[in-house]
Structure 1
Amino acid sequence: MSKNLEIKKAQVEEIKDKLSRAQAAVLVNYRGLTVAEATELRKKFREAGVEYKVYKNNLLKIAIKGTDFEALEKDLTGPNAIAFGYEDPVMPAKIVKEFSKKHEALELKSGIVEGEYCDLEKIKAIADIPSKEVLIGKFLGSIKSPLSNFAYLLQAIIDKKNEEGSAEA
């Protein structure tokens, strides 16, 4: 077996491993990014726990066969990079969309989020969903608010009863 073939097989296995752990994978067209911009993008991905790699399309096609990510095959044309989201399935799309506002050379193409294929429009819509932490915070805030109001109401009733009791004495 040639050295080149061994390297390619190892890369296919690496991709399969990443896909098996990923909740989401987003394809992007990175053509036109400068080295500095690509480095900045990789840093943002790392900080968010997202892995960003450039692989040859043929290796990606081999690796996604028979997986939940197989629908991406039709979008594997031209130069592509792939961002793997392991913890927050929305994060890869969110970072790409945010980064592309200042760096127009970076373009979302498509993705798979929790097993569902998302074309360009859907992946952009998913990118607008707040992160899991923000959603949990909003949910807890919405629960806390009525409870706090109820506690204030009870305290007001107690205070009023105490005032009435001291006025009678």
Structure 2
Amino acid sequence: MATPTKVDAVEEITNDFKDSTAAVLTEYRGLTVAQLKELRRSLGADTKFAVVKNTLTGIAAKEAGIDAFDGQLAGPTAIAFIKGDAIAAAKSLTDFAKANPKLVIKTGVFEGKPLNASEVAALAALESRELQLARVAGVLKAPMAALARTVDALRVKLEESNGAAPAGADAPAAEETAAPAEAPAEEAAAPEEN
């Protein structure tokens, strides 16, 4: 018979699976508490690294519709529930596992699709979304700066053409407007002298 504590634990793990974009199953046999703390810190705030009970996790995975962990739940097990950037979290996990071989990445699930250990490593090898956005921003920065310079040059040219008339271009037009203005004044003055 299931105790209320176990029911609550299964519900929590099920919700963690459902709320995560990815989850990575690991074995942490031989890691110290300090090393696990270091790993949690390296994963960031958007990833929950939880030590779990295998039987309860198996039940929770089934309730969440995940079959990637079937046959993998043995030994001291911890799961990284990833809510943020799955690529960055996978990279943190694989980097930590390289530095600390006692952390074994067994399997994972990403957006509902099962991943084996090598596929988790391949996910980690991709560029993170932040890096991709930074590169796009860098690519767009130069054209935007050139566009801003062009707009400024056009604005200056427009202000110059509206302010002072360039030499030679508006001079004949000014003479033409001045001459007709003088001619009617002379015609108007001539009848008064008669």
Q: Could you say which TM-score interval applies, normalised by the shorter chain?
A: 0.7 to 0.9
Higher RCO (Cα < 8 Å, 6 or more apart): 1
User: Which among 4, 16, 19 is matched to residue 14 of structure 2?
Assistant: 16
C-alpha offsets along residues 102-141 of structure 1, whole Å, 9 cap, x if unaligned? 2111121111111111111110010122222111111222
SS at match of 1:73: coil
In structure 2, the partner of 1:6 is 4
In structure 1, the partner of 2:116 is 119
Structure-2 separation of matches of 1:55 and 1:65: 15
Q: CA deviation at 1:150?
A: 5.9
In structure 1, the partner of 2:132 is 135
Q: Flag structure 2 segments of 5+ consecutive residues without an equivalent.
A: 158-165, 167-194
Alignment map for 1:94-109 (pairs within 5 Å): 94-109=91-106
How many residues are treated as equivalent by the alignment? 161
Structure-2 separation of matches of 1:16 and 1:71: 14
Q: CA, structure 1 residues 68+91, in 2 after alignment: closer, same or farther (shift >3 Å)?
A: farther
Structure 1 position 41 matched with structure 2 position 39: yes
Q: Quick one: which amino acid aligns to residue 29 of structure 2?
A: R
Q: Flag structure 1 segments of 5+ consecutive residues without an equivalent.
A: none
Runs of 4+ residues deviating >4 angstroms: 149-152
In structure 2, the partner of 1:25 is 23
User: How high is the sequence identity, in percent, across the aligned residues?
Assistant: 35
Structure-2 separation of matches of 1:141 and 1:104: 37
Q: CA, structure 1 residues 65+23, in 2 after alignment: closer, same or farther (shift >3 Å)?
A: same
Q: CA deviation at 1:68?
A: 4.3
The RMSD of aligned alpha carbons is: 2.7
Q: CA deviation at 1:17?
A: 1.3
TM-score, normalization: structure 2?
0.70
In 2, are the aligned partners of 1:27 and 1:82 still within 8 Å (CA)? yes
Structure-1 separation of matches of 2:50 and 2:79: 6
Q: Quick one: which amino acid aligns to residue 123 of structure 2?
A: I
In structure 2, the partner of 1:55 is 52
Structure-2 separation of matches of 1:140 and 1:26: 31
In 2, are the aligned partners of 1:85 and 1:91 still within 8 Å (CA)? no
C-alpha offsets along residues 1-39 of structure 1, whole Å, 9 cap, x if unaligned? 7xx722111100110111121111001111111222122
SS at match of 2:71: helix
